[in-house]
Each structure stands twice: as C-alpha cells, then as structure tokens.
Amino acid sequence: MRVFISSVRRGLAAERDYLPDLIRAIGHEPSRFEDFGARNATSRGACLEGVNQAEVYVLLLGPHYGDEMEDSGVSATAEEFNVAQQRGIPILVFKKADVDHDPAQEDFIRRLGDYQQGRFWVEFADEKALGIAVATALQNLNFPPAPLMYLPLAQPVQIVWRRDRDPLGDRSLYAPVLEVHALPTATGSLRPVSQLADLAQRLAVRGREMGFFGQADALTIEHDSTTAWVLRRNDPHSSGRFNDRQTDPYAGLAVGRDGAAMIFQALPTDAMGALVDQADLEQRISVLLRIVAPHLPATEHVALAAALDPLDRVSEGDPGLVGNRTSGRAGHSGGKAARAEPVDQVARPSLTEGLPAVAEELAVRVLQALRAGSTSRGPWG
C-alpha cells in the first residue's frame, strides 16, 4: 500500500524521519513531502497529489497546526486531511502525548475528536512507540478484495504502441521488449501541458525508488505537448561471450495528458534470443503495473494491454535457461509483435487487490498471441 504521512514537521521531525523505513520494512510504500525532491510544481500541489495517489493516510498530531493558506484559510495538513476524507481512503490518526498545542492545533484536534463526526486516535510518546502503533494499525487494516470482473468496453480504446511512438520505438534494439499499457476508459480532464515537465521528473523518481532504474543510471527525461516520459536507452555496443546472458538496459515509462500510461523493459537474451513462459510473464507484468499504477488518474475503470515486440528472437520456454543453453528453436521472424489488445476493462482497485489475477490474464493473452503468430505489421510498415 502507498501510505501518505501528513503533519507539520516542526515538533515531529524525529517521528517523520523514523516512519518511512519502518513502513517499507513491513511491505508498504511511504510518501511524504521530504522525499518529493525538486519539482516544477508548488509544494502544496505536490503534497495534495501525494494524498490523491495514496491508499492510506497517516495523520500525526503534534504541538503545531501550521501556517494557514491565504485562499483556503486552513493549514497544509488540514487540506491534506480534507482530501483524504473526500477520497474515502483509510485515515489513521496518531497524537503525540504530553505536548502543549497552539490554539489552532487545539481547535483542529477538537474537530477531529468530535463524537459525531470525528475520529479516534492513538497517543504516542516517541518515534519508537509511534512506529509500533503505525505498524499495528496498518496490519489491522482489512481491505476486502474487490471482485475481479472484466466488463465490456463502452467504446474502442486506442493504443499507441511503443514502436509507433518516437523516440520510444527504438528499432536498433537487440533484445525483445515487454510493454504494458493501462488506460482510463472514461473521458476525463486532460493534464495541463505545463505539468508534463514535472510529471517526467516524478516518473524518474518513482522508477528509481522502485528499483526499475538504478540510482546511477543515465536517464533521458523529456516531454512534448502530449506525453511525459523517462527512458534508459539501450547500448548497441554492449557485447559478451557468445552465449552469455545479456540484460539490455532499455526500459522506460510514459504517461500522457489523458492519463494513458505505458511501461516497458527489454528481456534478457543470449545468442539464441529470449525465452518466456507464463510464470515469468506474470511476475514481470505484475511488477510493471505496480510501478505505473500510482500515475493513473482517479478513474473508475481501466483498460489493459501488453505486448512482446519484436518477436524475431523470442521463443516459449524456461527463461532460466537463457545463457545456459547450447541449442534451441529459432523464434519468430519478420519483425512482428505478440499483442494482447485492450478488449475489456477492470475496476481501478484491481491493480492493487487483484494484481496477480490481472497479471495472469495479460500473460495468458500475450502467450496466445505468441503461439498464434501476430498479424501486426513489421517495423517498416
């Protein structure tokens, strides 16, 4: 789960610095304004977007309320709380014991604790006690899994595949690439073009945080008038011994103004190409969707698609044999792709609670296309 930590830093610095590592240690992803880095956006906008992307909101109450915004008349923490409340996500409240509160904070705490509409909280003495309380509360959250239902599309969804999107459609690639797409199915508002530069930076940050990109990787971080993307390019000069396992660095993420998201990664190869099977594809697709899902807009349903492209050097088999084989069957030819087109839609929460089943479905569809031989056009049209 993505957990947003909300509070004034003054008076709670030790607690805010202690929580992220603990939250990671119990298998969740922390989010707080200290980690947002330099962005082409206001800190207020970045924090509110962080709440919008979170699945759980953790509110820490210390001695201070914080400065009030001129337009809203409430503090940044109160704004974040209001957004979390409007979204209906779980809100966990923790109050530091034995501290004096300024008058505005006293009023905020009184409103939070109102019997009719307020919330209970857990008091803590220090960061370690807070850590235990937060870990317990997160573990006790009971998210009923949303039933995974595939619904027909109300209208066709148009995919712009990687090979057709410059500069992401690199035709000098030595390795085949797995790409995954997630698209909102309802027409919504478009992201302002002025936000795409900041979005590209955030894609790079998330990619590094999730281990999709290495911390020292050289990345191309760009945008145009419709899309933001970050790309780790392939190395056409990389080489090794004849049958060494080669891991092409080519990988990237792209998100459009309409919220359509694409993530892709080259497969490991040896002299005879790449091997894929259902279990390996499921695992890879699951990881890719987990990375890209937080960048999708708050939409009710999404359509999903995936592809292996190109197929010239792809065969079905045990991926563990790549780099450890002396013979094999030649893969497809002609520069074709195996594509699982978007033919239905699923509820947005399925990308968290139902992720294994979603990944399995996409993997099966891609393998069916691989076995049948794709009818998609080659790279030169």
Kindly state the DSSP code that residue 349 receives in the 8-state scheme: G
The answer to whether residue 39 scores a pLDDT higher than 50 is no
Domain that holds residue 348: 151-372
The answer to whether residue 265 scores a pLDDT higher than 80 is yes
Is the Cβ–Cβ distance between 373 and 332 less than 8 Å? yes
Confidence category of residue 308, pLDDT binned at 50, 70, 90: very high
Show Cβ contacts of residue 293 under 8 Å, excluding neighbours closer than 6 positions: 182, 351, 352
Which residue among 79, 106, 140 closes a domain? 140
pLDDT score for 235: 63
Tell whether 39 is covered by a domain.
yes
Q: How far is CA 161 from the centre of its chain?
A: 19
Measured CA to CA in angstroms, residue 202 lies from 59, 89, 153 at distances of 24, 23, 30
Confidence category of residue 186, pLDDT binned at 50, 70, 90: confident
Tell whether 379 is covered by a domain.
no
Which residue among 111, 140, 169 closes a domain? 140
Q: Is the pTM of this model over 0.85?
A: no
Per residue in 219-248, pLDDT tens? 999 999 999 999 998 765 555 555 678 887
Q: Are residues 55 and 187 located together in one domain of the fold?
A: no
The answer to whether the peptide bond before residue 167 is cis (omega within 30 degrees of 0) is yes
Burial environment of residue 63 by CB neighbours within 10 A (0 to 12, 13 to 18, 19 or more): middle
Q: Are residues 106 and 238 located together in one domain of the fold?
A: no
Weakest mean pLDDT among 48-52, 276-280, 365-369: 48-52
Taking alpha carbons only, the member of 228, 235, 230 closest to residue 264 is 230
Domain total in the chain = 2
CATH (domain of 135):
3.40.50.450
Kindly state the DSSP code that residue 24 receives in the 8-state scheme: H
Which residue among 75, 105, 140 closes a domain? 140
Tell whether 22 is covered by a domain.
yes
Q: Are residues 236 and 106 located together in one domain of the fold?
A: no
Q: Are residues 171 and 135 located together in one domain of the fold?
A: no
Show Cβ contacts of residue 263 under 8 Å, excluding neighbours closer than 6 positions: 179, 180, 212, 252, 253, 254, 288, 289, 291, 292
Tell whether 42 is covered by a domain.
yes
pLDDT score for 147: 65
pLDDT score for 239: 52
Tell whether 123 is covered by a domain.
yes
Weakest mean pLDDT among 69-73, 335-339, 377-381: 377-381
Tell whether 319 is covered by a domain.
yes
Average of per-residue pLDDT values in the chain:
85
